[in-house]
A and B are shown apart, each in its own frame.
Chain A
C-alpha cells in the first residue's frame, strides 16, 4: 500500500493572493463547486483561513480544550492553507493544546477523521477539505457554490479581521442579499466561503429538511421579487423588511433550527406585510433610524412556541413597519 504523504503547508505570497482574486473576479456570479472543484476548494479554504482566530471566526466557540473542558482561546487558533493528496484544504490548530474536542456533533463530519485525530480520539488539528465536504453535501442533495459578489465583499474586499461582522451586514442590507440567499436555498445550494457557512449551514446538512426549506425559500424569493418588480433601486426603508426575512431564513437553513415553526410563522407574517405594500418600494425615502423592534422580531422567531401567538407576531411586524415609516422622510427632488 502506498504510504500516505503528510499534508504540505502552502504559503501564499501577495502575488498569489492577487492571482487568486483575479481568477475569482472572472467567475460568474454563482459558480458551482462541480464546475471547478480544485479552484472552489482553494477559495473555500482561503475564506476559512482568513477568518480563523479573528472576531469573525464562528468555529472558535465550538473548539474546546479536552483537558480543561473550556473553549480554547480564539486568539490561540491558527489556520494554515494546505495541500494533501491533490486536495486543497485548511488546517486549524491551537497554540494552547494538542487535545481538542468539538462541542457540536455535526462539526466532526467536516473534519478529516484520520488526519486530525490523536489515538485517544481527541484532535490535534482540524483538517478541512472542501472537496470532500462537497461530496458529503451532494449526498444530501445540496450543492456547494461560490458567490462572486459575496467573496469580493468579504475575503477579497470589505473584510477587515479587526472589525465585527456588522460591516458586511450593512452590505447585506443595502444589496438586498436576502433575495440572493433565498434563490440559492430554493435551488438546493449553499455557499462555502467562510466559517459561518461551514459551521452554521454545511455541517449537519440533512436531506430530509431541505424539501420544506426549499419551498419556504421559494416563497420568500417570489414575494421579494414581486415586491421590488417596479423598482430598480429601492430605498433602505423598503429593504429593511426583506433583510429581516433574510436573517430569519438564514436561521431556518441552519440544522439546529430546521423546520422551526416559530421561524416560519414570523417569516410568513413579514411576507404578508410585504404583500400589503405597507412600505412602497418605489417611494423615494431616507431612513433615519433602524427600527427598534427589529431585535424583538428576530428574538420572537427564536422563541419556542411563538407560532401559537400569531397576534403577537402580527402586532410586532406591524409595529416595525410603522417605525420604519415614522423614521422615513420623502426626498423632494429639486431641479
Chain B
C-alpha cells in the first residue's frame, strides 16, 4: 500500500524564476521560454510544476472542510426511525435471486 502522497513528492527540480508579480491575465504573454522541440523535457517540467503546486497548496487545501471536497454524501440521517421499506424494483430483484 502506498504511503501518503507527501512521501512520493520529489523535491521540485524546476529552476523557478518568479517573474515579478503573480500572474494576471495580461501577464501570461510574458516569459514563455519553452523550447517546443524538447517535448519530454517540457512534460518533466510540467510534472515538477504539479508537484510544486501540490506541495504549496497543501496547507490551504487542508483548511477546506472535507464536506466540500469530492466523495462526500450530503444527506443527513433522518431524525426518527423510518419504516424499513424496499422499492418494488428492489423487492423483485431479491426475489429473482431466491429470497
Contacts and interface: CB of A to CB of B under 8 A. Distances in A.
Q: A and B, one complex?
A: yes
Interface of A: 4, 58, 61-62, 64, 66, 69, 71, 85, 87, 101-105, 108-110, 112-114, 117, 121, 123, 129, 131-132, 135-136, 139-140, 157-160, 163-172, 174, 177, 196, 199-200, 232-233, 235-237, 243, 246-247, 250-251, 254, 256-257, 278, 280, 283-290, 292, 294-295, 298-299, 302, 325-335
A285 B2 CA distance: 28
Q: Across chains A and B, which 9 residue pairs bring their CB atoms closest together, nearest first?
A: A332-B17, A236-B53, A103-B77, A200-B73, A109-B90, A290-B60, A298-B68, A256-B75, A233-B46
A236 B54 contact: yes
Contacts of B93: 132, 135-136, 139
Contacts of A140: 89
Is the contact region of chain B dominated by helix, strand, or loop, or is it mixed? Answer: loop
10 contacts: A109-B87, A112-B94, A165-B71, A170-B54, A170-B61, A235-B49, A251-B74, A286-B56, A289-B56, A289-B57
A284 B94 contact: no
B1 to A, nearest CB: 7
Given A102-B84, A246-B70, A329-B18, A290 B89 contact: no
Contact of B82 (A105, A199, A335): A105
Given A157-B1, A247-B68, 17 more contacts: A69-B81, A113-B84, A114-B94, A114-B99, A139-B89, A165-B69, A166-B69, A196-B73, A235-B46, A256-B75, A284-B46, A288-B53, A288-B56, A289-B56, A290-B64, A295-B64, A333-B34
B43 A331 contact: no
A326 B25 CA distance: 9
B80 to A, nearest CB: 8
Given A166-B61, A196-B71, A278-B25, A334 B85 contact: no
B43 A247 contact: no
B77 A62 contact: yes
B10 interface: no
A169 B24 CA distance: 28
A250 B97 contact: no
Interface in B1-39: 1-5, 14-19, 22-25, 27-28, 30-35
A331 B16 contact: yes
Contacts of A114: 94, 99
Contacts of B72: 196, 200, 247, 250
A131 B94 CA distance: 10
A235 B53 contact: yes
Contacts of A104: 75, 77-78, 82
B90 to A, nearest CB: 4
Given A251-B74, A333-B33, A233 B50 contact: yes
A108 B78 contact: no
B81 A284 contact: no
A8 B92 CA distance: 24
A169 B22 contact: no
A117 B85 CA distance: 12
Given A167-B4, A235-B53, A299-B68, A256 B74 contact: yes
Given A105-B85, A165-B66, A294-B68, A325 B23 contact: yes
A87 B96 CA distance: 13
A254 B73 contact: yes
Contacts of A160: 1, 3-4
A298 B61 CA distance: 14
A85 B98 contact: yes
Nearest to A168: B71
A287 B53 contact: yes
